[in-house]
Amino acid sequence: MDALQDQFAIRVRDLVVGFGRQTVLDHLSLDVRRGEILGLVGASGGGKSVLMRTIIGLIPRRSGTIEVMGQPTGGHGRGAATIWGILFQQGALFSSLTVRQNVQFPLRENLVLSQELMDEIAIAKLEMVGLRAQDADKYPSELSGGMTKRVALARALALDPPILFLDEPTSGLDPIAAGDFDALIKTLQKTLGLTVFMVTHDLASLTTVCDRVAALADGKIVAIGPMRELLQSEHPWVRAYFHGKRSQMLQHEMR
Ligand SMILES: Nc1ncnc2c1ncn2[C@@H]1O[C@H](COP(=O)(O)OP(=O)(O)OP(=O)(O)O)[C@@H](O)[C@H]1O
Ligand SMILES: [Mg+2]
């Protein structure tokens, strides 16, 4: 692996993805640096979830290349679960499994471990995301929204992957719970050296936890950099997004 490759956790080049006549991603290129938290913004229906799902191999691409940790995607085979953890936008947990069983699910799928060891790992992961051992026997229907996100995060991190994909992790949470979740992501990035790819509309998340922000418009990344650079962007969509009436109001209140 050469030094340049080593710098990036994810490299996307000239990616084209579509469904029928619709082209969603149109020659999109994007680099995610190792160890950074990259925030992705874009219009609703613009292709953020499609990009994430294409990188992890759930949606086929028409053309272009994707490398994750220096290897083309598809090259990881069943080992992929040890490379990335995922928090999907919708429906995070298996409702018929307890919290403990949800967190153990990737372990069962990928490793052969004693029940005792799996129980230890599950408790350790729950504590890592700020939950208690007593929560392990609850079912998803017995959890708050914030707890559900944390359990999903514990499950995503069960196999200690170096990359974490988050699709709107704070949507549906109140501002305090969202702030706590953001702080948790930042702590995990620092302590575990995680690379985090985060789709979010949350201006507070973009400002406080993201090292860089990428903007997706017209099927491409039209701006990328630290939030203060994005705020200077001349791109019409990026300007409208960050300087439109609604976000002005929010930014005013954040001051
Ligand atoms: N499996 C699929 N089959 C057909 N079309 C799809 C599929 N998945 C997504 N699309 C289409 O691709 C486009 C991009 O969808 P995507 O879910 O990526 O948007 P998004 O940027 O994540 O939006 P949001 O912010 O609302 O979550 C939409 O027009 C959507 O209808
Ligand atoms: Mg989406």
Q: What is the pLDDT at residue 172?
A: 85
Residue 163 near residue 10 (C-beta atoms within 8 A): yes
Supply the residue whose CA is at minimum distance from atom 18 of ligand 1. 47
Alpha carbon distance 191, 140 (integer Å)? 28
Q: Whose CA is nearest to atom 31 of ligand 1?
A: 45
Residue nearest ligand 1's atom 2 by CA: 19
The strand ranges marked E within 69-151 are 71-72, 84-87
Q: What per-residue confidence (pLDDT) applies to 102?
A: 96
pLDDT one-digit tens code per residue, 116-168: 999 999 999 999 999 999 999 999 999 998 899 999 999 999 999 999 999 99
Of the CA atoms within 13 Å of residue 174, those in its CB half-sphere come to 3
Arithmetic mean of pLDDT, 195-206: 93
Q: Of 216, 221, 198, give the one whose Cα is nearest residue 14.
A: 221
The pairing of strands 220-225 and 212-217 is antiparallel
Atom of ligand 1 nearest to the CA of 50: 18
Do β-strands 212-217 and 37-42 pair in parallel, antiparallel, or remain unpaired? parallel
C-alpha of residue 47 to centroid of ligand 1, in Å = 5
Domain boundaries, the chain: 97-151
pLDDT at residue 111 in the model: 86
> What is the predicted pLDDT for the residue at 253?
59
Q: How far apart are CA 80 and CA 191, in angstroms?
A: 22
How many residues are recorded in the chain?
255
The ligand 1 site (C-beta within 6 Å) comprises 19, 24, 42, 44-50, 89
Mean residue pLDDT across the chain: 90
For a ligand 1 pocket test, name from 40, 48, 62, 89 the mutation site with the most ligand atoms within 8 angstroms of its C-beta: 48
Residues bordering ligand 2, an ion, CB closer than 5 Å: 48-49, 89
pLDDT in tens, 168-196: 999 888 889 899 999 999 999 999 999 99
Residue to substitute in 16, 24, 53 for testing ligand 1 pocket (most ligand atoms within 8 angstroms of CB): 24
* Distances from the Cα of 81 to the Cα of 39, 109, 251, angstroms: 22, 9, 38
pLDDT > 90 fraction of the chain, expressed in percent and rounded: 76
Helix, strand, coil percent content, the chain, rounded in steps of 5: 45, 25, 30
pTM assigned to the model: 0.90
Q: How far is ligand 1, taken at its centre, from the CA of residue 190, in Å?
A: 32
- Closest residue by CA, ligand 1 atom 26: 44
Collapsed DSSP state (helix, strand, coil) of residue 129:
coil
